[in-house]
Structure 1
Amino acid sequence: MTDRVLVFDGVCVLCSHWVSFVLRHDRHRLYKFAAMQTATGRELLSRHGLDPDDPKSFLLLESGRGYMDTDAIIRVLNSFGGRWRVLAMMVRVLPRFLRDASYRFIARNRYKLFGRHDLCVVPSEQTADRFLS
C-alpha cells in the first residue's frame, strides 16, 4: 500500500469536492484515495476506530498512522506548500476543540448541507491509478 491514503465518503458531495481539490493541488502525487464504500476503505476505517457505516471523519493514513478531523486537513494542506501551508498554520492557531467541533458538525450534517450522489464518484482515466478498491 502507499504511504499516504485518504479514506473519504464516496457519495458525499462535499467529500467528493475535497478529493477533487486534493487531486488538483497534489502536484507530487503523494496521496491515494479509498472510498469508505469499498472493501479497502471499510477495512482502513475499522482498523483506525471509525465505524465504516457512519464515520465521523475522513481518515488520513500517513506512514501507518491515522489522522482525523482538522488534524488530517492541516496535514494535507501543509503537504501542498506555499499559500496552503500558510492556511494550515492559520487553522492550527485555533484551539483544537473549536476547530474539531466545527468539523464534526459539518461532517454529521454533510448530506443535508451539501447533498449526496447516488453512486460513488468514478475517477477519470487520468486519476484512476490513485484510487484503491
Structure 2
Amino acid sequence: MNRWPDDDVILYDGVCVFCSRWIRYIATHDVSRRFRFTAIQSDYGTRLAQAFNIDPNDPDTNAVIHGGIAWFKSDGALTTLSLLPGWRWARALLLIPKPIRDAVYNLVARNRYRIFGKYDECFVPDAEMRARVME
C-alpha cells in the first residue's frame, strides 16, 4: 500500500485545463470541504509525486490520498467522486475490472492536452479555494 501522512489530498496537473476543471468541480461540490489540492508543479506536489513514482514533468495520473492510502488513475477519480454528495453510487463503478477502467483513464490522460488544452502556467484558484491548496 502507498501511504502518505496527509489525508484527503488530491494531486493534479495544474497546467492541464481538464485537470483544473476537475479540481474546481470537486471543490465546488465538496460541501464538507474535506479535500485539499496540490498541483504537481508546486513544491509539495512535486514531493508527493516523486514519493509515488509519478514523473512531475510528464504526469500520467492523478493521486488521491484518502484513508492514508494513495489511489491512482480510475481508483482515485472514483474514490473522490464517491465521497461527494450525490455521487456515492460511483463506488459501484469500481466493480468494472480495473484494466478496463484504467484503459479509459489512460486514453483521456494521454490526450488531455490535445483535447482540452493546456495553460501556460498553473491556474490560480479563487480566494475560497486557495485556502484549500497545499503548496
Asked whether the two chains share a fold, i.e. TM above 0.5, the reply is yes
The 2-side partners of 1:20 and 1:8 are apart by: 11
* CA positional deviation for 1:60: 0.6
* CA positional deviation for 1:2: 4.2
What are structure 1's unaligned runs of at least 5 residues? none
Q: Which residue of 2 aligns with 1:121?
A: 123
Q: Which residue of 2 aligns with 1:23?
A: 27
Q: Which residue of 2 aligns with 1:41?
A: 45
Q: Is the contact between residue 33 and residue 131 of structure 1 (CA under 8 Å) also seen in structure 2?
A: yes
User: Can you list the C-alpha shifts for 1:29-75, whole angstroms capped at 9, x where unaligned?
Assistant: 11110001111001001101211111210111124321101101111
Whether 2:9 is the aligned partner of 1:5: answer yes
Q: Is the contact between residue 11 and residue 38 of structure 2 (CA under 8 Å) also seen in structure 1?
A: yes
Q: Which residue of 2 aligns with 1:99?
A: 101
Q: Which residue of 1 aligns with 2:78?
A: 74
What are structure 2's unaligned runs of at least 5 residues? none
Compare 58-67 and 94-103 and name the one that shifted more: 58-67
Q: Runs of 4+ in structure 1 displaced over 6 angstroms?
A: none
* CA positional deviation for 1:130: 0.3
